[in-house]
Amino acid sequence: MNMNMASSLENSPFLQACRRERAAHTPVWLMRQAGRYMHEYRELRARYSMMDMITTPELAAEVTLQPIEAFDLDAAIIFADILPPLVGMGLNLDFVPGIGPLLDNPISTIYDIERLSTPPAEQTILRYTLTAIRLASEELTSRGIPLIGFAGAPFTLASYAIEGRGSKTYAKTKSLMMREPEAWGRLMKKLVTVQADYLLKQVEAGASALQVFDSWAGAALSQADYLRYVRPYNVELFRTLQQANVPIINFSAGTAAYIDDVAACGGDVIGVDWRMPLDWFWTRIGEEKAIQGNLDPIALMAPWPELRARIDDVLNRANGRPGHIFNLGHGILPTTPRDHVKRLVDYVHEQTNHRQPTGDSES
């Protein structure tokens, strides 16, 4: 990488917004931006399984670039999933059509937890993702586009390790937590070890920023349980990640009621869902943090005038303040019309070109 390429990456609107610097326009990327709503993705997926795509670096890098070729996005996210770290720990992962991810040997006892390994990423299937990051970041750097690495937060990963699949009630996870708080602590510490190592190695491999997905904490936990059973481990994870010297995005969903506690765990950018307005979130997390969000993913299905009004609402609530990264409040859905993604990205850029803050920010 030459110096010019490095500086155009550092001065990209996405990294500037992460640092709360004024950018040429509000940067935009979309969670799950590589996926089934794109025909290019579906064509590859028809030939390869999800696991094959994740563990073949050339394929993962290609899929990472698909949305970058198709839209004027300000950041790429490496194509992978949050669950493969569990494979290195000893769990069997498969992606089953119509069901989603499935682990056929989930953990349920303290003995299972003691048996979980914590190998470094390069000794597990995560090494393929690290190689994919090297391939994709080389290509993206030459285009001035930062690559985001990611991993699941300990609670969200623990929920899959215990339930074996997605859950509505998180009954097994919360029962273990309440019944055996010490075993829970052991599990969460092991997950912090594995995830911190994996995330730091993603930066060594070429990721310019990291996002930690705590997707299910809010759906499962009261504020009191979040503070007791999640916060200490998230604090430890974010504290360890600081040594990477790249922006860290702390994303969760369903946590509006205690978003200040979520933000206090760490991260330079707080990723928020669509359940409350952007300015409501920003007031609570504090202006010293950048914010990412928060269009309802279903709004992309609405007719353009309605979609545009909802984009305007997010932008008006951000009010041109430096430190806003436009995104959805959660992942893009497979039924999203592709042409709305293009219109969204172009519209955010048009509307925010050199925009200055105006008047009062609270509305």
* Residues taking part in catalysis: 32, 36, 45, 81, 160
Of residues 83, 270, 285, 295, which one binds ligand CP3 by CB under 6 A? 83
Nearest to 106 by CA among 153, 55, 157, 177: 157
| 246-285 residues near ligand CP3, rule: CB under 6 A | none
32 is a contact residue toward ligand CP3 (CB under 6 A): yes
184 is a contact residue toward ligand CP3 (CB under 6 A): no
128 is a contact residue toward ligand CP3 (CB under 6 A): no
Q: Min. distance of Cβ 35 from ligand CP3 in angstroms?
A: 4
State the CB neighbour count (10 A cutoff) for residue 335. 10
Of residues 90, 120, 144, 166, which one binds ligand CP3 by CB under 6 A? 166
Q: Let me know how long the chain is.
A: 363
For 240-250, letters b (16+ CB in 10 Å) and e give bbeebebbbbb
- What x-and-dash track marks residues 211-250 binding ligand CP3 by CB under 6 A? --x-x-----------------------------------
Work out the burial of residue 290: count CB atoms within 10 Å of its CB; fewer than 13 is exposed, 13-18 middle, 19 or more buried. Answer: buried
State the CB neighbour count (10 A cutoff) for residue 155. 27
Which residue, 31 or 183, is less far from ligand CP3 as judged by CB?
Answer: 31
198 is a contact residue toward ligand CP3 (CB under 6 A): no
In the bound state, the residue with its beta carbon closest to ligand CP3 is 215
Cis? peptide before 294, omega within 30° of 0: yes
Site of tokens 């041109």: 320
Which residue, 160 or 321, is less far from ligand CP3 as judged by CB?
Answer: 160
Site of tokens 């008047």: 359
Pairs from 240-244 (Cβ < 8 Å, separation ≥ 24)? 240/192, 240/196, 240/200, 241/196, 241/199, 241/200, 241/210, 241/212, 241/266, 242/266, 243/200, 244/199, 244/200, 244/203, 244/210
77 is a contact residue toward ligand CP3 (CB under 6 A): yes
Interface region with ligand CP3, contact rule CB under 6 A, candidates 6-14, 19-27, 77-85, 186-194? 77-85
Which residue, 34 or 183, is less far from ligand CP3 as judged by CB?
Answer: 34
If binding means CB under 6 A, how many residues of this protein chain bind ligand CP3?
23
Helices (H) and strands (E) in the chain, counts: 18, 9
**Binding-site ranges for ligand CP3 (CB under 6 A):** 31-36, 45, 50, 77, 79-83, 95, 100-101, 150, 166, 213, 215, 330-331
